């Protein structure tokens, strides 16, 4: 049984009369020690899916379906149960460390507090643990860093501190939502290396949420592609890169810069749809280069297509698009 099992998750915001249907029937499994990437353009429902797991959706949201973490249904769990799981058994790293770190306290104080919230022990133990955590995320000169305030650190260093905080209580699952998006490319690579090494060392399950398929190759074992609040394709990372079936996945890959390719990058035409004006049929049809009539009226189901599962009418045809194509 997977560590995290999401079934038919639907999330709506607003009133019954005027609801925004942000997440539409998501199924997702994450095994212990597995790294799963959730990829899709902005607004596809990635963060809402993760906030549902964390019980942080807020009062205007209604979620249905089930989210089972190690046998506990998080959608049904009491606030006290959720507090015991969030930050302890499930760690989380968000995009912008400045919003998550307290500017008024030192890094050492905040790390020690994160340890003490969930674990008994004296302040000395918590401080020793804070130093260990900084070493775990490859921060040098730990003594000095513990005395620094967040504004004294670079963006990359702050994100390392956030990863250290998320690991403070030895979680089984780490959710990293766009952890490198605010950073420049060199620092992005360093942060991904830190995530990969702590994942290996701690045998963590990780959900890596990103709009950039380029960052998942070295880290994820499985990739889930979202569009318009749905999963449109999922599979092993090599299959999604090289034997995908969905035109949207192909479009995301065509936007990626590659060293072995000279030709221009091809952005996906058009913009992602607003969820309150989602097109009927396949939500991708206005932007899809291979759409057929049926795509305008009938939503495709996510079905196994050999190498991956894909939700696409054309991929289901005998001569399928993308099949065997190397991006």
Binding interface with ligand SF4 (CB under 6 A): 246-247, 282, 284-285, 288, 290-291, 295, 300, 312-314
The answer to whether residue 275 forms part of the interface with ligand ADP (CB under 6 A) is yes
The answer to whether residue 95 forms part of the interface with ligand ADP (CB under 6 A) is no
What's the min distance (Å) between Cβ of 264 and ligand SF4?
22
What's the min distance (Å) between Cβ of 277 and ligand SF4?
17
Q: Which is nearer to ligand SF4, 46 or 246 (CB)?
A: 246
With CB under 6 A as the contact rule, the residue among 46, 129, 160, 246 that binds ligand ADP is 46
Q: Which is nearer to ligand ADP, 22 or 314 (CB)?
A: 22
Pick one of Mg ion, ligand SF4, ligand ADP, none as the site partner of residue 312 (Cβ within 5 to 8 A by kind).
Answer: ligand SF4
The DSSP bridge partners found for residue 73 are 68
What's the min distance (Å) between Cβ of 261 and ligand SF4?
23
What's the min distance (Å) between Cβ of 283 and ligand ADP?
12
Burial of 167 (0-12, 13-18, 19+ CB in 10 A): buried
Q: Which is nearer to ligand ADP, 22 or 85 (CB)?
A: 22
The answer to whether residue 58 forms part of the interface with ligand ADP (CB under 6 A) is yes
The answer to whether residue 45 forms part of the interface with ligand ADP (CB under 6 A) is yes
Helix (H, G, I), strand (E, B) or coil at 320: coil
What's the min distance (Å) between Cβ of 212 and Mg ion?
12
Which window, 43-51, 91-99, 139-147, 234-242, contacts ligand ADP (CB under 6 A)? 43-51
Which window, 40-48, 155-163, 236-244, 282-290, contacts ligand ADP (CB under 6 A)? 40-48
Cα atoms in the Cβ-side hemisphere of radius 13 Å centred on 307 = 19
What's the min distance (Å) between Cβ of 315 and ligand SF4?
6
Interatomic CA distance for residues 105 and 324, integer angstroms: 53
Q: How many helices (H) and strands (E) does the chain have?
A: 10, 12
Q: Which is nearer to Mg ion, 47 or 234 (CB)?
A: 47
Helix (H, G, I), strand (E, B) or coil at 114: helix
Are the beta carbons of 145 and 134 closer than 8 angstroms?
yes
Are the beta carbons of 257 and 214 closer than 8 angstroms?
yes
What's the min distance (Å) between Cβ of 135 and ligand SF4?
47
Any idea what the Cα angle at residue 208 is, between residues 170 and 34, rounded to 5°? 65
Are the beta carbons of 154 and 97 closer than 8 angstroms?
no
The answer to whether residue 47 forms part of the interface with Mg ion (CB under 5 A) is yes
Q: In 3D, which of 201, 211, 274 has the Cα closest to residue 41? A: 211
The DSSP bridge partners found for residue 23 are 11
Extract long-range pairs of 57-62: CB within 8 Å, 24+ residues apart.
Answer: 57/11, 60/13, 60/14, 61/11, 61/12, 61/13, 62/11, 62/12, 62/13, 62/19
* Contact residues for ligand ADP, defined by CB under 6 A: 13, 20, 22, 40, 42-48, 58, 60, 275
Q: Which residues bind Mg ion (CB under 5 A)?
A: 47
């Amino acid at each position: 049984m997977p560590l995290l099992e999401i079934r038919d998750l639907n999330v709506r915001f607003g009133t019954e009369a005027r609801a925004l249907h942000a997440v539409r029937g998501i199924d997702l499994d994450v095994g212990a020690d597995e790294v799963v990437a959730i990829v899709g353009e902005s607004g596809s429902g990635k963060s809402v899916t993760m906030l549902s797991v964390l019980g942080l959706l807020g009062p205007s949201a209604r979620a249905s379906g089930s989210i089972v973490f190690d046998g506990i249904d998080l959608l049904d769990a009491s606030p006290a149960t959720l507090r015991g799981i969030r930050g302890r058994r499930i760690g989380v790293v968000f995009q912008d460390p400045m919003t998550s770190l307290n500017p008024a306290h030192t890094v050492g104080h905040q790390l020690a507090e994160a340890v003490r919230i969930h674990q008994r022990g004296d302040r000395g133990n918590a401080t020793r643990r804070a130093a260990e955590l900084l070493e775990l995320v490859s921060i040098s000169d730990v003594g000095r860093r513990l005395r620094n305030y967040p504004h004294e650190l670079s963006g990359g260093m702050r994100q390392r501190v956030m990863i250290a905080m998320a690991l403070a209580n030895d979680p089984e699952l780490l959710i990293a939502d766009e952890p490198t998006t605010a950073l420049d490319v060199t620092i992005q690579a360093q942060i991904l290396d830190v995530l990969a090494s702590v994942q290996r060392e701690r045998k963590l399950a990780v959900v890596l949420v990103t709009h950039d398929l380029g960052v998942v190759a070295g880290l994820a074992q499985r990739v889930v592609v979202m569009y318009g609040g749905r999963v449109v394709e999922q599979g092993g990372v090599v299959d999604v890169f090289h034997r995908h079936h969905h035109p949207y996945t192909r479009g995301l890959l065509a936007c990626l810069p590659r060293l072995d390719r000279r030709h221009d990058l091809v952005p996906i035409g058009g913009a992602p749809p607003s969820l309150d004006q989602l097109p009927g049929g396949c939500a991708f049809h206005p932007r899809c280069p291979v759409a057929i009539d049926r795509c305008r009226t009938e939503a495709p189901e996510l079905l196994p297509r050999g190498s991956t599962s894909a939700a696409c009418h054309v991929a289901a045809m005998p001569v399928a698009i993308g099949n065997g194509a190397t991006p």
